Structure 1
């Protein structure tokens, strides 16, 4: 059965530069260990638990976001540390990941990983199946530009579809590759003249990996 992920995206605040105090990573993990049972059993009080975790993460870097996976067969959850697609905050993710202690109930993952199979997504009241998303890619200097196509995309709903588009790209390629291997990113309706030759998004990872020789 296709397993979903619970995605919590913290609000975007102003971008800070270099970290003022390296101890914030250690302070975060001390807090996490102290509250490990509450976090693992977040379903008992999801909103309050996620608010507390969001606040703790914001002390490390206000751009950081997270995902919790369902409980896996090994009895653990995945705790995904994400920069929310903000490349400037990638070092914060690396620092926090590298300072993580051993946690018996958790597997720590840096950056939103690729998902196989891709999850269907809902954002801003719009639900889209992964199988309905198509793409075309183009050479963009030393990277690849991409256009994603949706059935009901319109300029009026660009923000909603843009957020969904980036989430689908993270699902297909993983957060790190989206930020480091893709150039321009656009969103169009399938009625666009550029739709000719478009492929289902489930093929994107293979095509990108082949281009970069992975």
Structure 2
């Protein structure tokens, strides 16, 4: 097993090739990505990466455990050990996505513009749950792909670490006619609500 320093030594020697990923042919790109994953898995074979960026801007390297809390420590340890390399930004965990998006799984497509959530709090534990509501009854009744697609989207909306650690319960329901009057929020407000909920929990425990 490689140490963090072994991985970063390799990346220091090879990072230039990854700056031009979008300018090489598919075969060369695939080889570069496979080489990267091989080196990363010498450190920990349960973590993964996303890499990219725009020309003339810093390239981003995101190290992710794909939501598996058992390997969050390895992600943080690796990113915390990252050296400063010109033209690169290193990020632990997939960050939240602030903009609306659509996501599809088999024949099911969800759009964040049509999704709202109702906070569900547990007074005893202060754990946060959410009820995600849709305006289509057929989405909720017996659709086997709803749960995996919803979890994938919530991971994207809240960010990998927050989704794994801050949300303890999720269910679904039909969207009421006036969701804001029912105490609901548009789904993209979830990260802000999580931060607010955590600040309230901190206040009540001090």
User: Displacement, 1:71?
Assistant: 1.7
Contact 1:118 1:202 in 2 (8 A): yes
Task: Indicate yes or no: 2:109 matched with 1:130.
Answer: no
CA distance in 1, matches of 2:170, 2:40: 28
Bigger mean CA deviation after superposition, 103-112 or 202-211: 202-211
Of Structure 1 and Structure 2, the greater helix share is in 2
Q: Equivalences for 1:161-176 in 2 at 5 Å?
A: 161-176=146-161
The reply on whether 1:157 has 2:136 as its aligned counterpart is: no
CA displacement 1:100-133 (0-9 Å, x = unmatched)? 1112121001111122224433455754332123
For the 8 Å contact 2:131–2:170, the answer to whether it is kept is yes
Query: Which of 30, 33, 48 is matched with 2:9 structurally?
Result: 30
CA distance in 1, matches of 2:44, 2:18: 20
Q: 2:61 aligns with which of 79, 91, 106?
A: 79
Residue in 1 that maps onto 2:44: 61
Q: In structure 2, how many angstroms separate the alpha carbons of the residues matched to 1:116 and 1:156?
A: 27
Question: By how many angstroms is 1:84 displaced?
Answer: 0.8
SS in 2 for 1:109: strand
Q: Does 1:147 align with 2:134?
A: no
Distance 2:13 2:32 in 1: 13
- The normalised TM-score by structure 1 is 0.72
Structure 2 regions of 5+ residues with no counterpart?
201-206
Normalising by structure 2, what TM-score?
A: 0.75
* Cα distance in structure 1, aligned partners of 2:148 and 2:61: 22
Distance 1:36 1:59 in 2: 17
CA deviation profile, 1:20-64 (whole Å, cap 9, x unmatched): x5x421222222223212322223234333222222222222221
Unaligned runs of 5+ in 1: 1-20
- Partner Cα distance (2:127, 2:49) in 1: 27
| SS of alignment partner, residue 116 of structure 1 | coil
Contact persistence 1:119–1:171 (CA under 8 A):
no
Distance 2:35 2:141 in 1: 36
Q: Residue 84 of structure 2 aligns with which residue?
A: 102
Q: Distance in 2 between matches of 1:127 and 1:207?
A: 25
> Within 2, Cα distance between the matches of 1:172 and 1:66?
18
